[in-house]
């Protein structure tokens, strides 16, 4: 409970007491002042509750921002690990392919010629 809620509730109670006392004594001015204090106290209490809720929402927002920042950092780190692993696998496979091509030159040359022929045949204009 913040200061506005406390003051609003006390002003509302004061207004109720004034209205009751004005009704008992037959003083309409006191009754009106009591009603005004009741309404003003209720409004101040509602303002205090709204302010308290806004502070809670701001705190929740700061917490969520921190969580998002942490999770994004974890995702970035996971992505870097995945990229390092993929680069390592790509390097390994390329070395194996180069070794195979070096050891089997005739097969590699025949395969390269077949691929070049297929690309040329697919790229030719239709007649």
pLDDT in tens, 106-119: 988 999 999 999 99
Report, as an integer, the average pLDDT of 114-127: 88
**b/e per residue 9-19 (b: at least 16 CB within 10 A):** bebbebbeebb
Mean pLDDT of the chain: 92
What is the domain range of residue 58?
A: 13-123
Q: Residue 57: pLDDT above 70?
A: yes
How far is residue 20's CA from residue 7's CA, in Å, rounded to a whole number?
A: 20
- Tell me, yes or no, whether 100 lies in a domain: yes
* Confidence at residue 61, expressed as pLDDT on a 0 to 100 scale: 92
Report, as an integer, the average pLDDT of 3-29: 92
Report, as an integer, the average pLDDT of 6-20: 93
- Tell me, yes or no, whether 103 lies in a domain: yes
- Tell me, yes or no, whether 4 lies in a domain: no
- Tell me, yes or no, whether 112 lies in a domain: yes
Report, as an integer, the average pLDDT of 14-31: 92
Number of separate domains in the chain: 1
- Tell me, yes or no, whether 2 lies in a domain: no
- Tell me, yes or no, whether 3 lies in a domain: no
* Confidence at residue 127, expressed as pLDDT on a 0 to 100 scale: 60
- Tell me, yes or no, whether 89 lies in a domain: yes
* Confidence at residue 24, expressed as pLDDT on a 0 to 100 scale: 92
* Confidence at residue 2, expressed as pLDDT on a 0 to 100 scale: 87
- Tell me, yes or no, whether 35 lies in a domain: yes
Burial of 51 (0-12, 13-18, 19+ CB in 10 A): middle
């Amino acid at each position: 409970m913040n200061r506005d809620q406390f003051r609003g509730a006390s002003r509302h109670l004061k207004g109720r007491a004034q209205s009751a006392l004005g009704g008992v004594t037959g003083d309409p001015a006191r009754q009106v002042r009591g009603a005004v204090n009741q309404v003003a106290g209720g409004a101040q209490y509602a303002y205090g509750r709204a302010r308290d809720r806004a502070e809670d929402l701001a705190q929740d927002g700061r917490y969520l921002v921190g969580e998002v920042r942490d999770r994004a950092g974890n995702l970035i780190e996971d992505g870097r690990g995945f990229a390092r692993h993929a680069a390592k696998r790509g390097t390994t496979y390329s070395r194996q392919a180069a070794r195979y091509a070096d050891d089997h030159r005739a097969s590699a040359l025949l395969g390269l010629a077949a691929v070049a022929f297929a690309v040329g045949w697919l790229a030719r204009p239709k007649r």
